[in-house]
């Protein structure tokens, strides 16, 4: 049985322009046996794609909204001013 001790991660970043937004898709696979890892606790992706986080591909791809820092002290814990909150 595989101990899953070596991994590959694939990250794809997509950007939209109106308003500026970025979304990361993350997939983790065991290098030894090729098994995909799951992201428990994240909700399934919605067909309209408006939630901030979720999973796709039967739970093996995490979908995460990301953004660059707004200032040198920005920790990313608050939405940028005039942003559209997606629920």
* Tens-digit pLDDT profile for residues 40-77: 888 877 666 555 678 888 888 998 888 877 766 666 66
Inside any domain, residue 74: no
Closest to 43 measured CA to CA, from 29, 28, 59: 59
Inside any domain, residue 82: no
pTM: 0.68
Domain coverage including residue 30: 7-66
Inside any domain, residue 75: no
Inside any domain, residue 83: no
Total domain count, the chain: 1
Q: Residue 80 in 3-state DSSP?
A: coil
| Cis peptide, bond prior to residue 19, ω within 30 of zero | yes
User: Average pLDDT over the chain, rounded to whole?
Assistant: 79
- Dist CA 60 CA 40 (whole Å): 9
Half-sphere exposure of 67 (CA within 13 A, CB side): 18
């Amino acid at each position: 049985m595989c101990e899953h001790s070596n991994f590959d991660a694939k990250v794809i970043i997509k950007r939209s322009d109106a308003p500026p937004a970025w979304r990361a898709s993350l997939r983790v696979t065991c290098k030894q046996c090729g098994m995909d890892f799951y992201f428990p606790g994240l909700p399934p992706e919605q067909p309209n794609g408006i939630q901030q986080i979720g999973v796709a591909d039967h739970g093996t791809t995490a979908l995460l909204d990301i953004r660059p820092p707004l200032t040198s002290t920005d920790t990313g814990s608050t939405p940028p001013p005039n942003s559209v909150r997606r629920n």
